[in-house]
């Protein structure tokens, strides 16, 4: 297991400054945001021959790229396709789908050019507002989302396959596959295509009351990438604000918030144990969305917390 970092949090720093800083702290891998607006990569350039030099930039700091991430554009394949995604691409729903699909494919090509085996992202969802299943018509709406998912993403996964790259969907509220059940349903919807798997992120599970360890044990073979992110049900706020607070992430009264690794409710020792048990031995990539402490506080505290929890090897055999 290696500890990596999703560099997008320092999008306002030069890539070089980021690489120097994080490698100096002991991080071993970087996950790079591939969408337009990312200052750490331009996948068009990569596809025009920039791959080798880009890789060198990374490697000279003793790092490697664990995954290209494109959560913002991948989401356009299924939606939301209303004005809320205009920042990513302004257009009709059809145009958004087309744009999202194209950008996904380019990200795949860039990953291939950079020898990066995984692309992380969101599948999107045509109508996440339908999750509550009331009125009854919502049930049908939500179920139809899986058909659309199979139709639109199925073809993209074939493109992944032809390039030897995997897609790691981040199981997350507002996405078609948001819990263990829908993750399994999504696999079934695409007939178990191996290119479709998950970017395990415990923070989105704990706030739903889902045990991340159960996720690992049931979907372990499909975990292609992983995020180190913690989340906190805020004890003093929960009785008022609940688990589904709207409003700004930094307002103090929220009943739920993301936290730096080790400062939330994720039981990291159980998580590390389970990842070892299912044989996941790739990267745990730090994502900072803690609304309380500074980015540097988070980055430094995360590695300090996780390093001692890395298990180098499983037990070979019972010796006793």
CB 19 within 8 A of CB 30: yes
State how beta strands 283-286 and 2-6 pair.
parallel
313 binds its own copies (CB under 8 A): yes
Residues 142-161 interacting with its own copies (rule: CB under 8 A): 142-143
For 270, residues 6+ apart whose C-beta sits below 8 A from its C-beta are 212, 213
Rounded least distance, CB 60 to its own copies, Å: 26
CB 285 within 8 A of CB 31: yes
- Among 46-54, 78-86, 106-114, 154-162, which window interacts with its own copies (CB under 8 A)? 78-86
Residue from the set 130, 148, 165, 299 that interacts with its own copies by CB under 8 A: 130
Residue from the set 47, 150, 161, 311 that interacts with its own copies by CB under 8 A: 311
279 binds its own copies (CB under 8 A): no
For 247-254, the CB contacts below 8 A with 24+ separation are: 249/289, 249/291, 250/291, 254/291
11 binds its own copies (CB under 8 A): yes
30 binds its own copies (CB under 8 A): no
CA distance 241 to 256: 8
CA distance 35 to 147: 26
Residues 158-197 interacting with its own copies (rule: CB under 8 A): 173-174, 178-182
- Among 14-22, 46-54, 189-197, 242-250, which window interacts with its own copies (CB under 8 A)? 242-250
CA distance 216 to 274: 7
Residues comprising the chain, all counted: 320
Tokens found for residue 119: 């692309």
- Among 42-50, 58-66, 80-88, 97-105, which window interacts with its own copies (CB under 8 A)? 80-88
CA distance 96 to 85: 9
CA distance 109 to 288: 27
Residue from the set 47, 109, 193, 289 that interacts with its own copies by CB under 8 A: 289
CA distance 120 to 225: 8
Residue from the set 26, 37, 62, 291 that interacts with its own copies by CB under 8 A: 291
CA distance 92 to 81: 8
Q: What are phi and psi of 68, to 5 degrees?
A: -95, 135
Rounded least distance, CB 276 to its own copies, Å: 6
Residue from the set 49, 87, 92, 94 that interacts with its own copies by CB under 8 A: 87
214 binds its own copies (CB under 8 A): yes
Rounded least distance, CB 220 to its own copies, Å: 10
Select 56 or 315, whichever has its Cβ closest to its own copies.
315
Query: Is the Cα torsion angle 180, 220, 43, 161 positive or negative in sign?
Result: negative
Select 76 or 165, whichever has its Cβ closest to its own copies.
76
Residue from the set 30, 100, 301, 302 that interacts with its own copies by CB under 8 A: 301
- Among 15-23, 62-70, 187-195, 303-311, which window interacts with its own copies (CB under 8 A)? 303-311
Give the x-and-dash track for 249-268 against its own copies (CB under 8 A): xx-xx-x------xx-----
């Amino acid at each position: 297991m290696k500890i990596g970092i999703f560099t997008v949090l320092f999008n306002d720093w030069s890539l070089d400054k980021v690489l120097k800083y994080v490698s100096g702290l002991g991080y071993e891998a970087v996950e790079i945001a591939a969408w337009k607006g990312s200052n750490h990569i331009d996948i068009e350039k990569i596809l025009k021959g920039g791959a080798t030099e880009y890789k060198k930039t990374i490697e000279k700091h003793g790092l490697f790229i664990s995954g290209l991430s494109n959560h913002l554009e991948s989401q356009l394949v299924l939606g939301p396709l209303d004005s809320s995604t205009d920042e990513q691409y302004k257009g009709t729903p059809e145009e958004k789908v087309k744009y999202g699909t194209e950008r996904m494919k380019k990200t795949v090509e860039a990953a291939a050019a950079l020898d990066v085996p995984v692309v992380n992202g969101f599948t999107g969802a045509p109508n996440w507002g339908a999750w509550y299943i009331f009125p009854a018509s919502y049930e049908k709406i939500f179920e139809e989302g899986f058909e659309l998912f199979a139709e639109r993403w199925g073809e993209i996964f074939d493109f992944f396959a032809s390039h030897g790259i995997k897609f790691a969907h981040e199981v997350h509220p507002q996405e078609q596959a948001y819990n263990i059940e829908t993750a399994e349903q999504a696999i079934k919807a695409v007939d178990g295509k191996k290119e479709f798997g998950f970017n395990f992120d415990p923070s989105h599970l704990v706030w739903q009351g889902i045990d991340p360890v159960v996720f690992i044990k049931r979907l372990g073979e499909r975990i292609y990438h992983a995020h180190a992110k913690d989340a906190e049900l805020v004890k003093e706020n929960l009785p008022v604000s609940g688990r589904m607070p709207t409003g700004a992430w930094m307002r103090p009264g929220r009943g739920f918030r993301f936290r730096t690794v080790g400062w939330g409710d994720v039981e990291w020792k159980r998580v590390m144990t389970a990842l070892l048990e299912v044989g996941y031995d790739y990267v745990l990539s730090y994502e900072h969305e803690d609304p309380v402490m500074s980015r540097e506080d988070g980055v430094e505290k995360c590695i300090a917390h996780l390093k001692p929890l890395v298990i180098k090897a499983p037990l070979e055999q019972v010796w006793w």
